[in-house]
């Protein structure tokens, strides 16, 4: 590796300049948390490691600062597409079988990847040759930036640098080559497809392929090459659902532990033995096994190059490590973390860097840390070694920040500010000898320390908490109800410092729901299901799968639930196509209604039935598309490295029973496809409005529709109440003329009646306003509780009967990244009071601005208990509850930590599945938003950048991941400002205080 090549990429840290502490920690004094269980946490006296500071690690500090330096914006690297193109250009490569071709292509990429190592590195290699680089995946979505090569660096939001020579190669050599090769989406379009060809496929291992006594469903679809089926048309319209099958295989967590234990050499030997002995007993299985061997060999070649590069850089310690691992088993923490990082960033050459997760890293690494610590000669050396472990983990975190998703300007609306969503899970429990035991260990706290000090968005850190196991004194007796465990206190302490991480999972409901699913699998015992469920890790955003056993492709489908609401209201027609009697219905293009419109219904049960019918129609199309695209993907784009690092596809030494099948083809032990539902809270609240007001006799269906058409009297041109009334009158006159006798709209509505209808809507029952179900009670919110449970159960039932192309079922959850804002832009007003183009509520979080039935503000406890009332068995693809809290500032840091932990314990005690925190005041967000807006304007200069600087590392939990607030779209920034935000001490919603 030449110095010139090295200087083009790599991480160049200037230790003489720019090392001021810009972390969120600032001047906060972290109070120690004594270790009261030295038999469990063996090496730490203080669980907060409060004597370790970011300034103790100059390289780490400078590296972190560089992440936020305007000079170091992400830079496009063409190494991966260039190497793939180089391999595939050879004429003989086209004739290879897809599995062999893919494996050999990856081996070529690994063998020729630039080995970047510098003298101060503790971990070798980088994802790209840029300091931070978006990875270009040409066979998935890399082509999306072709039209923007000249504008990438100039776009106002999240620009990418690109060198002229890189742009030239992409434009003249790489993109033209791939233009002749079809991506997965286009390969599907230009292929014949018939589900009848798969009727004898026995991959569904759940309940023997049955669902409630009937065979699980693979929705029939038959098409000819070049034909675009309806399910694909709906996908390409964007407003109804999206599928990650077109862009990612990577929503999962690989098995690093098999490489740590056996090394690539041991795994290769087992595969060769399985081929020689006939365990791999078909040509297809042999080809698959050889493909895994090929990528292992390619990885070994790359690591040899890393060792050479380390020696040239004078980094002899790292060179020695690379001469040993990952070919051989690891024996030290440094070796183990080297293995994890090498495997991880090579996996990012194979599959999209979006949602590929790190699993339970504290469980993976703790034995190596303890062994090293115990080998130290004295207490001083042991203390120094713990500090070294923290530094090593910081290097790992920063390595995980060296890549970002590739996004064209249009995608910034839907995914702005998202990192690569590399979920890292700590804590929790495990299943041993038939009981649940505490799995929190020394590495849990070391990882939490790195999280606290760096305060960066990647990795996406998650902590697991068990309401019983983790609420116990050192002698094992339960703590008093008002007490909080040191572990939970530490999680909350880290959240207060970082302002947005880690997220907190409830072990009790998650383990119960996942064990229920695993136990339905053929040949899986109840004890085995419990053990695997206890071993769950967070995937991508917040989804939960058994670590490296369950390939759930949790980001498979994103479904816009308010679109289903609209179809139920308008008889299967959608306002984007027109809802008049001569307009087409959405799914069949005919003018007839597919279910009765709201104006023809006589009861709420009619509406529930209509909604379920339209939901099933939408689900059928979603599943058709996902299975159709998935079967294409498994043919053209297998994943041999990921498959080789997973339970199911291959045997570990001493094992048997492998499927010798790619994860994309159902090779994992457990399979499912995840559906993320967008806009649940808006739909629950709309159900309440329709039930309480329309079928409660307080408002006619025609009046409700007129209010929606008038957009609740809102208009960009309306500046005062008089103008609003005039706008509404003009709008209603116009729709009366358009209706021409149709029952869709009323003849007219006085502005006074409009205001009354809007008041009734505002005071109707709402999800998030509490769980009081006392008949006649002033805070009775029974209707919202009813529809919360009815809808989540209905959605789960509708999707669970469908089987995926890999085997297993469709599991539903509620998380939205920033899609709730993007989809909201494409959607008209909804009955709950949401206006045209406004964001939907995020994840499973209640809508902003809701009040109780008497107009009283919603309090923190109302919010939390409403979310916790959701049955975890109906959210097996996880949910995001975004809870925003305003702390009282640094002088109250210790007191706020205690309060914070008490709030979190309350949520967990009610079987809450997940809560992700934002600990920042509304005023701070408003100031950051103003600074970001000013800095993105044409003509903005040094003064605006200087004003923006204090906010560049302001982290926020969006709806499943952490992002830097100022990198979000303007719409998303405003959505976060509008979210309910509660005072840490009083629980009062802060918008009410600000508006008072």
- Flag whether 658 is in a domain: no
- Averaged pLDDT, 739-746: 40
According to the model, what pLDDT value does residue 917 have? Answer: 92
Tell me the pLDDT band of 957, cut-offs 50, 70 and 90.
confident
Q: Which of the two residues, 718 and 994, has the higher pLDDT score?
A: 994
According to the model, what pLDDT value does residue 200 have? Answer: 74
According to the model, what pLDDT value does residue 531 have? Answer: 98
- pLDDT reading at 430 higher than 90: yes
- Flag whether 954 is in a domain: yes
Structural domains of the chain, count:
1
Decide: helix, strand or coil at residue 143: helix
- Flag whether 612 is in a domain: no
* Other Cβ atoms within 10 Å of 521 Cβ, number: 22
Phi-psi region of 758 (alpha: psi -120 to 50; beta: other; left: phi over 0): alpha
Spatial CA neighbour of 544 closest among 563, 516, 583, 566: 516
Q: Are 991 and 983 in contact (CB under 8 A)?
A: no
Q: Omega into 459 within 30° of 0, i.e. cis? A: yes
Instruction: Please state, rounded to an integer, the average pLDDT across all residues of the chain.
Output: 91
- Flag whether 948 is in a domain: yes
- Residue 658 CA to residue 660 CA, distance in Å, equals 6
- Reported as a single tens digit per residue, the pLDDT across 150-165 is 999 888 878 899 999 9
- Flag whether 920 is in a domain: yes
- Reported as a single tens digit per residue, the pLDDT across 460-507 is 999 999 999 999 999 999 999 999 999 999 999 999 999 999 999 999
Pull the structure tokens for residue 216: 């699980």
- Flag whether 222 is in a domain: no
DSSP string of 451-471, one letter each residue: HHHH--SSSEEEEEE-TTTTS
According to the model, what pLDDT value does residue 42 have? Answer: 97
Find tokens 């997940």 and name the residue.
914
- Residue 980 CA to residue 842 CA, distance in Å, equals 11
Find tokens 């193109």 and name the residue.
85
- Residue 752 CA to residue 757 CA, distance in Å, equals 9
Tell me the pLDDT band of 5, cut-offs 50, 70 and 90.
very low
- Flag whether 572 is in a domain: no
Tell me the pLDDT band of 720, cut-offs 50, 70 and 90.
very low
- pLDDT reading at 717 higher than 70: no
Structural domain that includes position 934: 681-782+810-995
Tell me the pLDDT band of 619, cut-offs 50, 70 and 90.
very high
**Which range is least confidently modeled, 584-593, 733-742, 885-894?**
733-742
Tell me the pLDDT band of 677, cut-offs 50, 70 and 90.
very high
C-alpha dihedral, 568 to 574 to 580 to 581, nearest 10°: -60
Tell me the pLDDT band of 28, cut-offs 50, 70 and 90.
low
Q: Are 76 and 166 in contact (CB under 8 A)?
A: yes
Question: What spatial distance separates the first Cα and last Cα of the chain, rounded to whole Å?
Answer: 64
440 CB-near residues (< 8 Å, 6+ apart): 40, 41, 362, 426, 427, 428, 470, 487
- Flag whether 939 is in a domain: yes
pTM of the model: 0.94
- Residue 267 CA to residue 280 CA, distance in Å, equals 15
């Amino acid at each position: 590796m030449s110095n010139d090549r090295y200087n083009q990429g790599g991480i160049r840290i200037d230790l003489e300049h720019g090392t001021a502490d810009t972390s969120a920690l600032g001047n906060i004094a972290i109070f120690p948390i004594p270790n009261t269980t030295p038999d469990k946490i063996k090496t730490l006296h203080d669980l907060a490691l409060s004597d370790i500071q970011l300034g103790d690690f100059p390289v780490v500090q400078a590296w972190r600062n560089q992440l936020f330096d305007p000079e170091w914006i992400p830079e496009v690297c063409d190494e991966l597409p260039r190497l793939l193109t180089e391999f595939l250009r050879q004429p003989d490569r086209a004739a290879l079988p897809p599995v062999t071709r893919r494996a050999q292509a990856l081996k070529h990429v690994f063998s020729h990847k630039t080995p970047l190592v510098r003298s101060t590195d503790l971990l070798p290699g980088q994802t790209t040759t840029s300091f931070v680089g978006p990875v270009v995946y040409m066979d998935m979505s890399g082509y999306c930036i072709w039209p923007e090569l000249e504008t990438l660096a100039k776009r106002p939001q999240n620009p990418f640098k690109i060198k002229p020579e890189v742009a030239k190669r992409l434009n003249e050599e790489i993109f033209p080559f791939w233009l002749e090769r079809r991506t997965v989406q286009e390969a599907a379009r230009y292929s014949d497809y018939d589900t009848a060809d798969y009727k004898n496929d026995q991959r569904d291992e759940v309940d023997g392929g049955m669902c409630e006594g009937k065979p699980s469903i693979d929705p029939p679809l038959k098409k000819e090459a070049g034909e675009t089926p309806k399910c694909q048309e709906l996908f390409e319209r964007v407003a109804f659902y999206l599928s990650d099958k077109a862009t990612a295989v990577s929503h999962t967590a690989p098995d690093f532990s098999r490489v740590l234990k056996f090394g690539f050499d041991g795994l290769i030997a087992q595969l060769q033995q399985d081929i020689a002995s006939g365990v791999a007993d078909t040509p297809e299985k042999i080809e698959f096994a050889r493909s895994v061997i090929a990528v292992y060999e390619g990885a070994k070649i790359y690591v040899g190059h890393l060792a050479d590069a380390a020696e040239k850089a004078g980094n002899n310690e790292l060179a020695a490590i690379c001469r040993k691992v990952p070919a051989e088993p690891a024996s030290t923490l440094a070796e183990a973390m080297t293995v994890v990082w090498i495997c991880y960033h090579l996996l990012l050459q194979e599959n999209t860097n979006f949602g590929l997760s790190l699993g339970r890293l504290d469980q993976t690494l703790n034995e190596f840390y303890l062994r090293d610590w115990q080998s130290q000669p004295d207490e001083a050396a042991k203390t120094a070694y713990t500090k070294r472990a923290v530094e090593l983990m910081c290097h790992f975190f920063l390595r995980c920040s060296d890549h970002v998703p590739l996004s064209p300007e249009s995608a910034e609306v839907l995914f702005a500010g998202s990192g690569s969503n590399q979920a890292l899970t700590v804590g929790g429990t495990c299943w041993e000898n038939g009981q649940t035991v505490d799995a929190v260990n020394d590495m849990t706290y070391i990882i939490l320390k790195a999280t606290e000090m760096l305060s960066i968005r990647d990795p996406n850190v998650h902590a697991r908490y068990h309401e019983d196991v983790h609420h116990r004194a050192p002698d094992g007796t339960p703590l008093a109800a008002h007490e909080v465990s040191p572990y939970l206190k530490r999680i909350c302490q880290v959240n207060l410092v970082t302002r947005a991480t880690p997220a907190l999972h409830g072990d009790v409901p998650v383990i119960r729901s996942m064990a229920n699913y695993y136990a339905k699998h053929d040949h899986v015992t109840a004890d085995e299901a419990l053990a695997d469920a206890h071993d769950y890790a967070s995937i991508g955003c917040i989804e939960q799968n058994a670590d490296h056993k369950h390939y759930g492709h949790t980001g498979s489908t994103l479904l816009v639930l308010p679109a289903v609401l609209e179809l139920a209201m308008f008889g299967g027609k959608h306002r984007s196509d027109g809802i008049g009697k001569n307009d087409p219905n959405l799914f069949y293009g005919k003018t007839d209604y597919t279910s009765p419109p709201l104006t023809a219904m006589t009861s709420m049960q009619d509406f529930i039935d209509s909604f379920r019918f339209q939901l099933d129609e939408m689900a059928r199309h979603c599943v058709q598309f996902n299975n159709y695209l998935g079967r294409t993907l498994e043919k053209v784009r297998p994943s041999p490295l990921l498959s080789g690092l997973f339970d199911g596809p291959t045997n570990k030494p001493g094992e048997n029973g492998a499927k010798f099948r790619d994860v994309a083809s159902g090779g994992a032990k457990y399979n499912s496809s995840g559906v993320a539902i967008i806009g649940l809270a808006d739909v629950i609240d709309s159900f309440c409005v329709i039930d309480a007001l329309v079928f409660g006799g307080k408002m006619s269906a025609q009046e409700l529709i007129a209010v929606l058409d008038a957009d609740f009297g809102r208009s960009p041109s309306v500046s005062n109440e008089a103008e609003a009334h005039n706008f509404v009158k003009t709008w209603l006159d116009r729709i009366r003329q358009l209706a021409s006798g149709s029952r869709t709209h009323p003849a007219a509505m006085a502005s006074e009646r409009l205001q009354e209808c809007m008041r009734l809507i505002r005071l109707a029952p709402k999800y998030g306003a509490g769980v009081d179900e006392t008949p006649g009670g002033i805070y009775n919110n029974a209707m919202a509780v009813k529809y919360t449970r009815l809808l989540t159960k209905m959605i789960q039932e509708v999707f669970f009967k469908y089987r995926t192309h890999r085997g297993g079922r469709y599991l539903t959850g509620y998380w939205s990244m920033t899609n709730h804002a993007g989809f909201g832009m494409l959607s008209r007003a909804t009955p709950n009071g949401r206006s045209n183009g406004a964001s939907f509520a995020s994840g499973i979080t209640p809508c902003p601005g809701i009040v109780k039935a008497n107009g009283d503000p919603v309090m923190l406890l109302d919010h939390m208990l409403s979310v916790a009332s959701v049955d975890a068995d109906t959210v097996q693809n996880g949910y995001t509850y975004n809870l925003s809290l305003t702390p009282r500032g640094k002088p109250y840091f210790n007191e706020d930590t205690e309060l914070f932990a008490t709030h979190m314990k309350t949520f967990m005690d009610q079987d809450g599945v997940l809560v992700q925190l934002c600990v920042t005041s509304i005023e701070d967000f408003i100031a950051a938003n103003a600074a970001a807006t000013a800095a993105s304007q044409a003509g903005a200069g040094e003064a605006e950048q200087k004003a923006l600087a204090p906010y560049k590392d302001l982290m926020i939990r969006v709806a499943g991941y952490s992002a830097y607030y100022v990198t979000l779209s303007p719409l998303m920034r405003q959505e976060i400002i509008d979210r309910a935000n509660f005072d840490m001490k009083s629980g009062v919603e802060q918008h009410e205080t600000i508006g008072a």
